[in-house]
Amino acid sequence: MSQLPLLTNGLADLRKQLNEHSYRYYVLDDPSLPDAEYDRLFRQLQALEAKHPELITSDSPTQRVGSTPLSDFPSINHQVPMLSLGNVFDAEGLQAFVKRVEKELTDLGRALLNEELEFCCEPKLDGLAVSLIYQNGQLVQGVTRGDGQTGEGITENLKTLRSIPLSLRSADNQSLPELLEVRGEVYMPRAAFEAMNEQARLADEKTFANPRNAAAGSLRQLDSRITATRPLEFTAYQVAQISQDFAVETHEKAMQSLKNWGFKISPDLKVVKGYSGLQNFCDALAAKRDQLPYDIDGAVLKINDLRLQAELGFRAREPRWATSFKYPAQEEITRLLDVEFQVGRTGAVTPVARLEPVQVAGVTVSNATLHNMDEIVRLEVRIGDTVIIRRAGDVIPQIVRVVLEQRPTNTQSIIMPTSCPICDSHVERAEGEAAYRCTGGLYCPAQRKEAIKHFASRKAFDIEGLGVKLIDQLVDNELVKSPADLYKLKVEQLANLERMAEKSANNLLEALEVSKKTTLARFIYALGIREVGEATAANLARYFGQLETLKQVSVEQLLDVDDVGPIVAQHIYAFFNEPHNLTTLDDLLAQGIHWPETQVRREDLPLTGQTWVLTGSMQNLTRDQAKEKLEALGAKVAGSVSKKTSQLVAGEAAGSKLTKAESLGVPVMDEQQLLELLASHTG
């Protein structure tokens, strides 16, 4: 029992480390630990807490997994109403907003003394507003906006979001406010949303129309364990209440306090002056909109001075001191004119929607992806239907739903063709796959074109001047049937094609000649083996070193390569055992394609067979760089120390791993020794 205080301290220390990592990761976007190390510490905490449940605290990071389902959400009155924001849509509206606040301030006796008014600006996230109450630094309540006066208590759900601190962070044990009410937006980043929908599609489950609906659906779960599995984030945007001693003068400073207490605030938060500053901010953000990792529907513009905000106050349903500049919607309504079937590189026959052209968030959209036949069934979409389409970021526009109330009488159902629309080969569906495929292989001109486009692309053979239009002509005129045929082309053949002349033909032949010198990794990638992207191709090249070896590997050997799972291994194995493909390979090599034989076979590398572990911080290289260099020398780099560890590299402030290595007798070296070792092998 005398060990209990020691254990309590150990637990507190682990929690502190984990929380600090979460803060670095979610708030500062500057992770301090590799994910594997975080997971290891997390499991350590879980194990200790399982042995001593009496020592679990409500703010432990392990408590974010959700708890037993509620029967419904309590109704909770907001202490301060959650108002909406006014809108402006263009420069005139924005100018009118600035004029109005200036006049109101002048009327209040606030002469502006030629000083331009300061505004604090940020993106308007397209999610759901929530309010969080912290008492003495502890999260005690989380509520949805509801109608602005009353919302639903969803504390348990909100606690599962890693970007919501369960207790406020206090650097150097500074005191915390007795009361803090923070408001912000819960949303789902676009990539996580797409990935979640893709999973759902594969599992034949319900998909969400957009990230906002996905976030709403995830927060509305009575079972917080479900919410815990959803990739939701929280960004704080407002201090609604705070104990007197902690009040600051500007909105910007309030946001800075929130950041220090552990909240994520917008990375695009900016203070600007006057109308022109606002206009510049809104324009710059609009230009950046597609590149942001989340959906936004505008910019929020607030007077920065909190005293001026207080003096201006509110009108019926919105503050006088803020507005939002709205951008064009990312969803629009249009009509599905037709569905065509496209054949991809791997023969997948995919339905593509032809739409009545419509402007979506500033771009004319006339095509949208329909993914596969299952998606068509799920959407219950028919040709002629009125549909809602969504375009966000660089994702291909999608049909999100059919407006059944506006279905015309003469709609037609969408039917997968039984033969390839390009080569007439049989179309079939492999068991367990959503895709239908043309069985024509490289006899199918569509697959041939795609294979050659892939072969010539930047990350493959990078053949300058060999564009999509030219490839179409080469295949249509039967000048090129396989990639190797590219290297047999003659000036006269090329010069006769559309948009080509002798000069461009010669340039292309020269580019083809240059492309013959490549690397094994590019060569493997260029073959277009299913599921073998750039990274896997590089791993294969590094692991096997030679094309000959790769031709003879077994599925088991392939499974030893990083990133290669059973399905990919099967695709690779099948590729190299298909006689057609072997002919293509020989044909390519006969054209003079070559690469430096510097790639060393894995068995011959200096650190082959060794397992290394890195710990502590290093001065001259990052953990990832060290890992990459060690792996290049053949070592495996693991996350934890065991009897099997060959060598531990201990940087500064190395902790438990160093202790463990010493107790197991694992050799330890410092950063300097590592650098010397690396230099001795690369010098």
Catalytic residue among 99, 103, 124, 481: 124
CB of 667 to ligand JCF, least distance (A): 53
Binding residues for ligand JCF restricted to 84-113, rule: CB under 6 A: 85
Number of residues in contact with ligand JCF, rule: CB under 6 A?
A: 10
Helices (H), 516-608: 520-526, 534-544, 547-552, 555-559, 566-576, 579-590
Tokens 């300061």 belong to residue: 118
Kindly indicate which of the ranges 121-129, 159-167, 510-518, 622-630 contains the residues binding ligand JCF, using the contact rule CB under 6 A.
121-129
Give the x-and-dash track for 271-310 against ligand JCF (CB under 6 A).
-----------------------------x----------
Cβ nearer to ligand JCF, comparing 255 with 585: 255
CB of 610 to ligand JCF, least distance (A): 50
Say whether residue 237 binds ligand JCF (CB under 6 A).
yes
Q: Phi first, then psi: give them for residue 323, nearest 5 degrees.
A: -150, 170
124 is catalytic: yes
Which H, E and C letters describe 576-587, residue by residue?
HCCHHHHHHHHH
Residue of the chain from 238, 350, 398, 536 that contacts ligand JCF (CB under 6 A):
238
- Terminus-to-terminus CA distance in the chain, angstroms? 57
In the numeric block, which tokens belong to residue 380? 């219950």
Residue of the chain from 15, 21, 78, 124 that contacts ligand JCF (CB under 6 A):
124
CB of 388 to ligand JCF, least distance (A): 22
Binding residues for ligand JCF restricted to 559-618, rule: CB under 6 A: none
CB of 90 to ligand JCF, least distance (A): 20
Return d(Cα 368, Cα 353) in angstroms, integer.
Answer: 5
CB of 424 to ligand JCF, least distance (A): 53
Say whether residue 120 binds ligand JCF (CB under 6 A).
no
427: Cα within 13 Å, side-chain hemisphere: 21
Kindly indicate which of the ranges 66-74, 119-127, 403-411, 415-423 contains the residues binding ligand JCF, using the contact rule CB under 6 A.
119-127
CB of 290 to ligand JCF, least distance (A): 18
Say whether residue 215 binds ligand JCF (CB under 6 A).
no
Cβ nearer to ligand JCF, comparing 164 with 650: 164
Say whether residue 322 binds ligand JCF (CB under 6 A).
yes
Q: Are 522 and 588 in contact (CB under 8 A)?
A: no
Cβ nearer to ligand JCF, comparing 293 with 566: 293
Long-range CB contacts (within 8 A, 24+) of 356-361? 358/332, 358/333, 358/334, 358/389, 359/328, 359/332, 360/328, 360/329, 360/330, 360/331, 360/332, 360/389, 360/390, 360/391, 360/397, 361/289, 361/290, 361/327, 361/328, 361/329, 361/330, 361/391, 361/392
Give the x-and-dash track for 39-78 against ligand JCF (CB under 6 A).
----------------------------------------
Residue 45, H or E segment: helix 35-51
Judge residue 458's burial from the number of C-beta atoms within 10 Å of its C-beta, 0-12 exposed, 13-18 middle, 19 or more buried: exposed
Q: Are 674 and 668 in contact (CB under 8 A)?
A: no
Which of these, 600, 599, 603, 614, lies nearest to 677 by C-alpha position?
614
Radius of gyration of the chain (CA): 30
Residues tagged active-site: 124
Binding site for ligand JCF (CB under 6 A): 85, 122, 124-125, 185, 237-238, 300, 319, 322
